[in-house]
Amino acid sequence: MNELEQLDALVQERIRLPKNSTLFRLGEPTEAIYALRSGSLKTQLEDASGQVQITSFLLPGEIAGIDGLQTDIHRSHAIALEDSEVCVMRMDDFDRLAAEMPILQSQLRRLMSQEIARSHNLMKTLGALRSEQRLAAFLLNLSERLSALGYSPYEFILRMSREEIGNFLGLTLETVSRLFSRFAREGLLKIQQREVMLLDIETLRILSGVECAAQQAAKH
For the segment 151-163, what is each residue's pLDDT rounded down to a tens digit? Answer: 999 999 999 999 9
Residue 156 pLDDT: 96
Stretch among 158-167, 199-208, 211-220 having the lowest mean pLDDT: 211-220
Residue 129 pLDDT: 80
Residue 121 pLDDT: 63
Output the average pLDDT for the chain: 84
pLDDT band at 93 (very low <50, low <70, confident <90, very high): confident
Domain extent, residue 202, equals 128-219
Q: Is pLDDT of 215 > 60?
A: no
Stated length of the chain = 220
| Residue where a domain terminates, one of 99, 123, 147 | 123
For the segment 185-204, the average pLDDT, to the nearest whole number, is 96
Stretch among 72-86, 92-106, 114-128, 130-144 having the lowest mean pLDDT: 114-128
| Residue where a domain terminates, one of 123, 145, 170 | 123
Shared-domain flag, residues 159 and 59: no
What is the separation, in whole angstroms, between the first and last Cα of the chain?
38
Kindly give the pairing relationship between strand 155-157 and strand 41-46.
unpaired
Shared-domain flag, residues 196 and 179: yes
> Helical H runs in 67-209?
91-100, 103-127, 131-148, 162-169, 173-185, 201-208
Shared-domain flag, residues 99 and 182: no
Q: How far apart are CA 2 and CA 8, in angstroms?
A: 10
Residue 210 pLDDT: 62
Shared-domain flag, residues 9 and 118: yes
> Which carries the bigger pLDDT value, residue 68 or residue 107?
68
Shared-domain flag, residues 77 and 172: no
Shared-domain flag, residues 22 and 96: yes
For the segment 120-135, the average pLDDT, to the nearest whole number, is 76
Q: Is pLDDT of 217 > 60?
A: no
Kindly give the pairing relationship between strand 189-192 and strand 195-198.
antiparallel
Shared-domain flag, residues 52 and 156: no
Number of structural domains found in the chain: 2
Residue 219 pLDDT: 41
Q: How far apart are CA 126 and CA 89, in angstroms?
A: 31
% of the chain residues with pLDDT over 90:
54
The enclosing domain of 144 has a CATH number of 1.10.10.10
Shared-domain flag, residues 20 and 98: yes
Shared-domain flag, residues 147 and 112: no
Residue 203 pLDDT: 95
Shared-domain flag, residues 168 and 104: no
Q: Is pLDDT of 105 > 90?
A: no
pLDDT band at 213 (very low <50, low <70, confident <90, very high): very low
Shared-domain flag, residues 42 and 80: yes
The enclosing domain of 22 has a CATH number of 2.60.120.10
Shared-domain flag, residues 63 and 167: no
Q: Is pLDDT of 134 > 80?
A: yes
Q: Is pLDDT of 1 > 60?
A: no
| Residue where a domain terminates, one of 108, 123, 138 | 123
For the segment 66-93, the average pLDDT, to the nearest whole number, is 88
Residue 63 pLDDT: 86
Contacts of 24 (CB under 8 A, 6+ apart): 30, 34, 64, 65, 68, 74, 77, 78
